[in-house]
Each structure stands twice: as structure tokens, then as C-alpha cells.
């Protein structure tokens, strides 16, 4: 039980880390895209 619980805690932390990292990458990509569009239309 405790081993299983520990596994899920580690798993969720890893998932959260990966999710926040990918979210950050998407945000960065959108920011760059926005700057490119801004340069093109102005």
C-alpha cells in the first residue's frame, strides 16, 4: 500500500513536471508566433 502510494506520488509529480514544461514550450512558441505576426503586419 505505501509503496503503491509512493509510486503514484512520484508519477503525478513527474506528470506535473512534464505538463508544465510542455505548457511552457507551447507558451513560448505562441509568443514567438505572435511576434512574427506582429512584425509581418506592422
Residues 1-13: pLDDT tens digits?
577 888 999 999 9
Distances (CA, A) of 36 to 7, 25, 26, 32: 43, 17, 15, 6
* Residue 21: half-sphere exposure toward Cβ, Cα within 13 Å: 6
1 belongs to a structural domain:
no
27 domain residue, yes or no:
yes
Put simply, whether the predicted model's pTM sits higher than 0.85 gets the answer no
- pLDDT over 90 at 42, yes or no: no
Is residue 29 assigned to a domain? Answer: yes
Is 30 among the domain residues?
Answer: yes
Give the domain extent around 24: 10-41
Q: How many domains does the chain have?
A: 1
DSSP for the chain, written as a single string: -HHHHHHHHHHHHHHHHHHHHHHHHHHHHHHHHHHHHHHHH-
Query: Residue 14 falls within a domain, yes or no?
Result: yes
Amino acid at each position: 500500500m505505501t509503496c503503491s502510494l509512493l509510486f503514484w506520488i512520484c508519477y503525478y509529480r513527474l506528470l506535473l513536471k512534464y505538463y508544465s514544461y510542455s505548457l511552457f514550450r507551447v507558451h513560448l512558441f505562441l509568443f514567438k508566433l505572435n511576434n512574427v505576426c506582429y512584425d509581418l503586419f506592422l
